[in-house]
Chain A
Amino acid sequence: MEQTKNFKLGAAGVHIIPTATFKTNTFIIQMNAPLIKETASKRALLPNVLQNGTADYANRQQIRSALDELYGASLTTDVTKKGERHIISFRMDIANEKFLKDQTPLMEKGLKLLSSVLLNPKQSNNKFDPKIVAEEKRSHKQKIASIYDDKMRFANKRLTEEMCKEEPFGIHVFGQEDDLDNLNEENLYEYYKQALQEDQLDIYVMGDVDVDHVKNLISTYFPQNQTKDHSGPAPAGSTPALKEKANEVVDEQSVQQGKLHIGYRTQVVYGDDDYFALQLFNGLFGGFSHSKLFINVREKASLAYYAASRVESFKGLLIVMSGIQSANYEKATDIIFKQMEEMKEGKFTEDDLQQTKAVYKNQILETMDVPRGRIELEYHNQVSSNKIPLEEWIDRIDKVTKEDIVKVAGKIQLDTIYFLKGREALSNE
């Protein structure tokens, strides 16, 4: 595995991963701050405003033309949740000029453009361009409204809202539509300045690069003026009291297929000693195509096309998802709960466990083959206060025993069952 070179530039973390594997270079900038209601919409809107006008490039068309000229360098931004941290990401992939007839220094030009987007926005008198802000508010509102249109995403959003009502994690990553109305070119700019000062900043570079050269470019184009270091351990996320009785929530829409999403509390987050036991639990239970959910809900009962589970690593949740006929709600939940019981009772073989380890390790190694995936894994250790070096992951997975998994299964508790029900199913009941 290629070694990451880590160092500090002011308060920011710089992480360079030299590798000859790829034909492109990848830059990722992460801005990390707590997930709270007051700033969620601002943080979600901010990268859209920044990438559509800078002091050097007046509008989207000019920025995008400049990217085209850099052999189609891609620039994307997004916001994600890692537990109760709200992360803004800027990503650029740019061709390595080694493979081009044209020998332009693409990496430097790419970093310069990225710096212009992040640090040199289009503004006057401490206000963003009002036209850009208005357009991006309109577009962002539409994006929030469209979650409803993708029923799987909608069900996931509803489950999280219901399950984490009292916790910051219940806030949607895009923020709230209502809050957008209060945002303008002035208060958003003010928040931008604050975020640059207060967010934990990490800059990643992966590609066929010379470490010292990159280091110099980064200190030129991303001068750091944060006065305080924010890289200390992240505060622990909130954990609510466990529910005595699971919460059941049903919504109805005119859909062909019902969406069943079930949320469990795992009490385990990334960095904990039993984190890999939980991951393997998930692999056996619903993470892979040999798992209990796939075999019993899909293959044996023919109830669904997909029946899977995933772990929310930084929040300690396990989420089950399946698309079923609305009339089969009871049948499906019975089968799912039975699989959970079997896991708690240790009803799986040593062979099943070995198989799951093999597939899980394979998944991690494959993730590392993609620059974005490798950086994402590295970033786990910036967000978490308990760090597990990537070199140790495979070994830690190998050491997990059946007992470890049964023990972690014992911690898992049902919290909320959410069902998006097809409306016509009513007449069948």
Chain B
Amino acid sequence: MNKTTFEQIQETLYLETLSNGLQVYVLPKKGFNKTFATFTTKYGSIDNYFTPIGEQEPVRVPDGIAHFLEHKLFEDEEGDVFQQFSKQGASANAFTSFTRTAYLFSSTSEIEKNLETLVDFVQKPYFTKDSVDKEKGIIEQEIKMYEDNPDWQNFFGLLKSMFKKHPVAIDIAGTVESINKTTKDLLYTCYHTFYHPSNMVLFIVGNVEPEKLIKQVRQNQESKKFAAPEDINRITPEEPAEVAEKKKVIPMAVNTGKCLVGIKEKEPDKQGEDLLRHELSLQLVLEMMFGQSSENYQTLYEEGLIDDSFSFDYTAEYGFGFSVIGGDSSNPEALAERVREMIIKFTNQELDQKAVDRIRKKKIGYFLKAMNSPEFIANQFTRYLFNDMDLFEVIPVLESLTAEELTETMENHFAVDSQLSQCLIIPEGERTSE
């Protein structure tokens, strides 16, 4: 077992990599009632083309299958795993993202039992034709719920206009048509390829004893048999550097329009500290450009183009990355244009050193606040780990970023002519200039 202490934020992290390859992390938190654990596989919606373990030929699986699998794992031979957790006073859940599927529970009692349940149900797939068919009705309603959600439609509309071939543009839950192509055998194929312990991380945060829990997981894993780990062959289509289309307009049953402007990452191949510096740099730059303390925010607000739903973010994983800026607007068309102008103007100016220092402070404070949240720590640590980054390096890296480094990253990223797309949601019945 390894132990690392982070002096400034007063946290200690324990790690053991088990003989089957599973990485187990424990972060003790004194004073908390709750323990939160996530069991995550490096497998998400974008992993839809791969060579199944033990086979030669790659397969293209139906859209939404990683999410379908997430739903189905909650059922085992004895019934519904939710029941088991709630008998033990825990609440359980799961989510599927572009690159990860995470299973989680939180509870204030019976931590060991709940941990055992978590590890066991994820490692015991049980799919039947009937249960797979029954799930289709449930997922269909989940898809329809998102189809009526204008923010979700706006975001995926933007991804579709930025990405031509990359599966990040495919809705995580798939479509009604694609989920109907999902079968029990395909679920097993995906499961056996991506749920090997060596492709997974278990993270536990709470008022717990690390040695005891790690020992428990070690014994649990030693009692099960796993094949030797194999490298997974994922096939990602060649994605052009520039955006697929500049603009998309979607009419929906809404009163207020919405606008998102996206900047597509040109070379999304960074990992490790490079990616961490890059991601934090762009988040700082975006704060300076469009944060609530920026001149741009003040101006857009005074022009009546935004309200407090206006926000921005930069995210990147291996193979794709993008900035997103926008929110509700009575005139989404004009907002998209203003955002574009403001990006051009801002990137042509010198960065204000005072603003850099101020935003750096803000980000450091935010990180400390996030350290109050077991959910944030477990989810983000795992995401960082899958990208070879270290969550506990965030403050040191923020402290080390210089205006020169920010400028270079900014100038490279915001190439509006080739990398900018916009997606607008407009009230049904209205027309735009497109």
Contacts and interface: CB of A to CB of B under 8 A. Distances in A.
Contact of B302 (A135, A257, A302, A361): A135
A152 to B, nearest CB: 8
Contacts of A69: 358, 361
Interface string B291-315: 1111101100110100111000000
A71 B108 contact: no
A19 interface: yes
A151 interface: yes
A429 B29 CA distance: 57
Interface stretch (B16-24, B184-192, B208-216, B364-372): B364-372
Interface in B248-276: 252-256
B89 A362 contact: yes
Interface string A89-104: 0000111100111000
B148 interface: yes
Contacts of B307: 139, 142-143
Interface string A326-351: 00000000000000000000000001
A256 B147 contact: yes
A65 B358 contact: yes
Contacts of B9: 23, 99
A: interface residue count bin:
35 or more
A401 interface: no
Given A64-B293, A65-B293, A366 B106 contact: yes
Nearest to B11: A23
Nearest to A106: B365
A362 B381 CA distance: 25
A67 B256 contact: no
Contacts of A288: 86, 91
B61 to A, nearest CB: 22
A369 B34 contact: yes
Interface in A247-264: 253-257
Interface in B289-339: 291-295, 297-298, 301-302, 304, 307-309, 328, 330
Given A298-B138, A302-B135, A23 B371 contact: yes
Contact of A355 (B86, B106, B150): B86
Interface string A54-78: 0000011100110111111110000
Q: By DSSP majority rule, is chain B's interface helix, strand, loop, or mixed?
A: mixed
Interface string B135-166: 11111011011011110000000000000000
Contacts of A324: 141
Given A61-B293, A302-B137, A95 B428 contact: no
B141 A99 contact: no
Contact of A369 (B32, B80, B428): B32
A306 B294 CA distance: 40
B400 interface: no
Contacts of B91: 288-289, 359, 362-363
Given A72-B362, A72-B366, A305-B139, 16 more contacts: A23-B368, A61-B297, A65-B358, A67-B293, A72-B364, A73-B365, A100-B368, A101-B8, A135-B302, A139-B308, A146-B328, A299-B138, A302-B135, A356-B86, A358-B87, A369-B32
Interface of A: 19-24, 59-61, 64-65, 67-74, 93-96, 99-101, 135, 138-139, 142-143, 145-146, 148-151, 253-257, 288-290, 294-295, 298-299, 302-306, 323-325, 351, 354-356, 358-359, 361-363, 365-366, 368-371
